[in-house]
Amino acid sequence: MKSAVGTATTSWSLVISDFKELTKVRLAVSVVFSSIAGYFLGAHQLDMVSVLLLAFGGYCMVGASNAYNQIIEKDLDALMKRTRNRPLPAGRISVSAALTTAIVMTLLGIVSLYMLNPKTALFGALSIFLYTSVYTPLKTITPLSVFVGAIPGAIPFMLGWVAATNEFGIEPGTLFMIQFFWQFPHFWALGWMLDEDYKRGGFKMLPTGKKDSGTALQIILYTIWMIVISVMPAFGFTGRLLLSVPAAVIVLLMGLGMLFFAFRLYEKRDNTSARKLMLASVSYITLMQIVFVVDKFSETLFWFLK
Supply the pLDDT for residue 300: 58
pLDDT at 9 over 90: no
Q: CA 138, 272, 208 angle in degrees (round to 5)?
A: 30
25 pLDDT more than 50: yes
Confidence band (pLDDT; 50, 70, 90) for 11? Answer: confident
Taking the CA atoms of 161, 164, 165 and 166 in sequence, report the sign of the dihedral they define. positive
Which residue did the predictor score with more confidence, 7 or 293? 293
- Looking at residue 283, its pLDDT comes to 95
Could you give the CA distance from residue 12 to residue 64 in angstroms, rounded to a whole number? 21
**What was the pLDDT predicted at 299?**
59
What is the rounded average pLDDT of the residues 116-123? 95
- Per-residue pLDDT tens digits for 282-294: 999 999 999 999 9
Residue 158, CA distances (Å) to 10, 33, 144, 245 in order: 40, 12, 23, 22
pLDDT(90) > 70: yes
Interval 221-228 mean pLDDT: 97
Counting residues of the chain whose pLDDT is more than 90, the rounded percentage is 78
Say what the pLDDT of residue 301 is. 57
Residue 162 pLDDT > 60, yes or no? yes
Read off the pLDDT band of 1 (50, 70, 90).
Answer: very low
Question: Is residue 19 over pLDDT 70?
Answer: yes
Give the number of other CB atoms < 10 A from CB of residue 240. 15
- What's the rounded mean pLDDT across residues 122-129? 94
C-beta atoms surrounding 8 within 10 Å: 10
Percent of all residues in the chain with a pLDDT value above 70, rounded to a whole number: 94
Q: What is the mean pLDDT of the chain?
A: 91
What's the pLDDT band for 178 if we cut at 50, 70, 90?
very high
The pLDDT, as a whole number, for residue 262 is: 97
Q: What is the pLDDT of residues 48-88, one digit of tens each?
A: 999 999 999 999 999 999 999 999 999 998 998 888 889 89
> How much is the average pLDDT of 142-164?
93
Q: Are 254 and 185 in contact (CB under 8 A)?
A: no
Least confident of 14-18, 146-150, 267-271: 14-18
Nearest one of 189, 188, 199 to 80, comparing CA atoms:
199
Residue 16, pLDDT > 50, answer: yes
